[in-house]
Structure 1
Amino acid sequence: MGQRAAARKGRSRSRSRRGTARRRTTGPIVLLGICLALLSVGAGAALAHWRGAPPARTVADGREPEVSPLMSAAASPETGSPSPSKSPERSPETEPKPSPSPSKSRKPSVPASGPGTFTAAQSSGEATGDSGTLRRYRVEVEDGTDVSARQAAAEIQQILAHPRGWAANGRGRFQLVSSNADFVIKIATPATADKLCLAVGLNTHGELNCETVEGVVVNLKRWLLGSPTFAGTPAEYRHLIINHEVGHEIGIRRHMGCPGPGRPAPVMMQQIKGLNGCVSNAWPYDDEGTYLIGPPA
């Protein structure tokens, strides 16, 4: 009995050692298999994610990003091109608002009267024109009108040098001077203009310009605002003022009427009193150098 018990005990210990050995051998194999399986699943998921949504490329040099074969393979079946992502909708707070439109420019304020004193433009220029009598003129602006005498003189100088003007077509030469002038162009308030024009028997009613013994009187209202009958800007109407009054200065005494409906009004027509079917015009000549005339008014 003792030997059998010892033998059984020995066989039991041998089986226990073999079981322990099997467990020690099987455990690492199982763990290795599990790790390999997890790595395989992770790699497949990562590849599938990359194929479905390739990483965006930053375009730093202004060129379009290159399209790889894998990116082409991700094209949508309907269009054959990558499916565009939908841009987020703007919220009312981020929606761009239109900029306010600029306010319309207001008409300049015209003082009804002034002190009756004038400031002369201290500037001079070259003679304009190639033939005819040289007439030197000085420009003066009534004080307190906010009109620069120098700027007004420069503008009048340009008007008299216009290709459709008197000087460019042989009707005389004109030169801006600051002293020793042959005639003076004065820009005056309506009340002062009326006084200067009335001195030679002309009633301008606070609205009109005139020619006097000394030279030309320009009503400030007309200089700044133009005329309600003239289809053009005040700057264009200033051409008509100067050309009309200088026309008197060079010897054209009589006014003209409209030569016919739709035709340009002569510069010697009193266009502020109505056009009678003519078209507004601020120059003595047309583009071809033809003098624009009409019947005596």
Structure 2
Amino acid sequence: MGKRAAQQNRRRRREKRRSPGRLVLPVLALVLVSLGGGAALAHFNGTQSAAAPPPVAVASPDPTTAPPSPEPTPTPKPKPKPVPTAKKTTKPAPKKTTVPQSGAGTFTTAQSTGDAVGSGGSLRRYRVQVEDGVDISAREAAEEIQKILAHPRGWAAHGRGRFQLVSENADFVIRIATPATADQLCLANGMNTHGELNCETTTGVVVNLKRWLLGSPTFAGGPAEYRHLIINHEVGHEIGIRQHMGCPGPGRLAPVMMQQIKGLNGCRSNAYPYDEDGIYITGPVV
């Protein structure tokens, strides 16, 4: 072999001898990582790290002892809802009816007409007048009187007469007047009504405004029903029943021809000539 070849052979042998040493550090690093974790590798690289804290031992529960039950959480009671308080309402006092004691003494005639009601007796035409200055419509009063005379328990329904509302050429007049005017009209026919009563005159019927609006303290019904008694009583005189009647007995209906405002004497107040069975309500003549 030449000198040059011998040198190359020696160099190769030296390289073979060195090659295992090159693996020492990587192998050693892997061993340290597997044995000491990150802390050993860090120390090897020249950095100082705090050692990981030792694991904390956890006691195993005793299998024979049940774990304590948690304390029950009290359920909050719902707050009661406030009960709404009803608003107090003040009932308005009934409107007081004011009745004027006197008036103008002149009258307005209702410009109203109607069909004749009734099936027997002679036809009696009437007109309605209201004293001037009184807070009552003559037309409305005429309509109400027309309904009263056509009532199924009234005179016309039982053959005692036929009646027709007209505005002129009447057989008699129904006047609604203040107490003072009513007294004058009634006194002219010899009757003292004392500012309280109605009357029937030679020209027709005079209705005291006080009775028309307020009714009577002896009558069980209201003013609207008492108006039936006023008209039926005075028109009863107009068709020929001249005398008054008394109470037929305790608890019985008072005749419409009884002066019920002066007392019932044990009878029950009543505004109609006939009862619901169509029987005429009568009593002793007084």
> TM bucket by the smaller chain?
0.7 to 0.9
TM-score, normalised to structure 2, is: 0.75
1:176 maps onto 2:165 in alignment: yes
The aligned runs of 1:145-294 (5 Å cut-off) are 145-294=134-283
CA distance change for structure 1 residues 16 and 157 in 2, over 3 Å: closer, same or farther?
farther
Determine if contact 1:121/1:149 at 8 Å carries over to the other structure. yes
Give the 3-state SS of the residue equivalent to 1:277 in structure 2.
coil
Determine if contact 1:229/1:272 at 8 Å carries over to the other structure. yes
CA distance in 2: counterparts of 1:113 and 1:180, whole angstroms:
28
- Structure 1 unaligned runs (5+)? 21-84
CA distance in 2: counterparts of 1:17 and 1:196, whole angstroms:
139
Larger Rg: 2
CA distance change for structure 1 residues 15 and 178 in 2, over 3 Å: closer, same or farther?
farther
C-alpha displacement of 1:143: 1.1
> Which residue is equivalent to 2:28?
12
> Which residue is equivalent to 1:59?
none
Letter in 1 for 2:82: R
CA distance in 2: counterparts of 1:189 and 1:157, whole angstroms:
21
CA distance in 2: counterparts of 1:112 and 1:291, whole angstroms:
36
Question: Deviations along 1:205-252, whole A, 9 cap, x unmatched?
Answer: 000000111100000000000000111100010000000000000000
CA distance in 2: counterparts of 1:211 and 1:291, whole angstroms:
22
Give the 3-state SS of the residue equivalent to 1:278 in structure 2.
coil
> Which residue is equivalent to 1:23?
none
CA distance in 2: counterparts of 1:276 and 1:86, whole angstroms:
67
CA distance change for structure 1 residues 152 and 16 in 2, over 3 Å: closer, same or farther?
farther
Letter in 2 for 1:151: E
Determine if contact 1:264/1:292 at 8 Å carries over to the other structure. yes
Question: Deviations along 1:47-77, whole A, 9 cap, x unmatched?
Answer: xxxxxxxxxxxxxxxxxxxxxxxxxxxxxxx
C-alpha displacement of 1:96: 4.1
Letter in 1 for 2:27: R
Letter in 1 for 2:25: K
CA distance in 2: counterparts of 1:104 and 1:254, whole angstroms:
42
Determine if contact 1:134/1:174 at 8 Å carries over to the other structure. yes
CA distance in 2: counterparts of 1:152 and 1:292, whole angstroms:
27
Letter in 2 for 1:90: P
Give the 3-state SS of the residue equivalent to 1:218 in structure 2.
strand
CA distance in 1: counterparts of 2:33 and 2:79, whole angstroms:
69
The RMSD of aligned alpha carbons is: 2.3
Determine if contact 1:122/1:150 at 8 Å carries over to the other structure. yes
Determine if contact 1:107/1:225 at 8 Å carries over to the other structure. no
CA distance in 1: counterparts of 2:88 and 2:130, whole angstroms:
40
TM-score, normalised to structure 1, is: 0.73
Higher alpha-carbon deviation: 4-13 or 242-251 = 4-13
> Which residue is equivalent to 2:130?
141
Letter in 1 for 2:106: T
> Which residue is equivalent to 1:40?
none
Q: Matched residues, percent identical?
A: 68
Letter in 1 for 2:26: G
Aligned mate of 1:106, from 74, 95, 102: 95
> Which residue is equivalent to 2:64?
none
Letter in 1 for 2:204: G
CA distance change for structure 1 residues 87 and 170 in 2, over 3 Å: closer, same or farther?
farther
C-alpha displacement of 1:131: 1.1
CA distance in 2: counterparts of 1:278 and 1:14, whole angstroms:
132
Give the 3-state SS of the residue equivalent to 2:128 in structure 1.
strand
Pairs aligned (count) = 230
Give the 3-state SS of the residue equivalent to 1:243 in structure 2.
helix
C-alpha displacement of 1:289: 1.1
CA distance in 2: counterparts of 1:257 and 1:218, whole angstroms:
22
Structure 1 segments of 4+ aligned residues over 4 angstroms from their partners:
2-7, 15-20, 85-88
